[in-house]
Homo-oligomer: A and B are copies of this chain.
Amino acid sequence: MHAYLHEHLDMNKDYSRAIPEAWQHMSRVFTALGDEHRQRILLTFERGERLNVSQIVAVSTLSRPAVSHHLKILREAGVLASEKLGKEVFFWVNKPFLAETFDNTRAYLEEHL
């Protein structure tokens, strides 16, 4: 379990008890992408593409409220970003955030697990 005795001589001795920040972000990303509908929504986007809600609904098998629900979860997790332009709301992949989150998780894996 948690030994509270580490070979590294840094100051963060109780680091093992707290869930690191990279995992806090990753937690929501995992939850957001754990659903197949939301994965399909994410994979709908091409490089740098911006899509409005109607376009996403068009390629989805779900109703508009259901898509809206999933988009909200993806946005709140930081996976997608959005901007309102006139009547429409455009969504796009928050690539920098995803890249950073995956990198942090990858680094944590290498370091601690």
Contact = CB atoms under 8 A, between A and B. Distances in A.
B109 A95 contact: yes
Given A33-B26, A34-B30, A105-B102, A19 B3 contact: no
Interface string A42-59: 111111010100010011
A58 B1 CA distance: 10
A106 B103 contact: yes
A33 B30 CA distance: 6
Contact of A110 (B23, B27, B99): B99
A100 to B, nearest CB: 11
Nearest to A34: B34
B1 A51 contact: yes
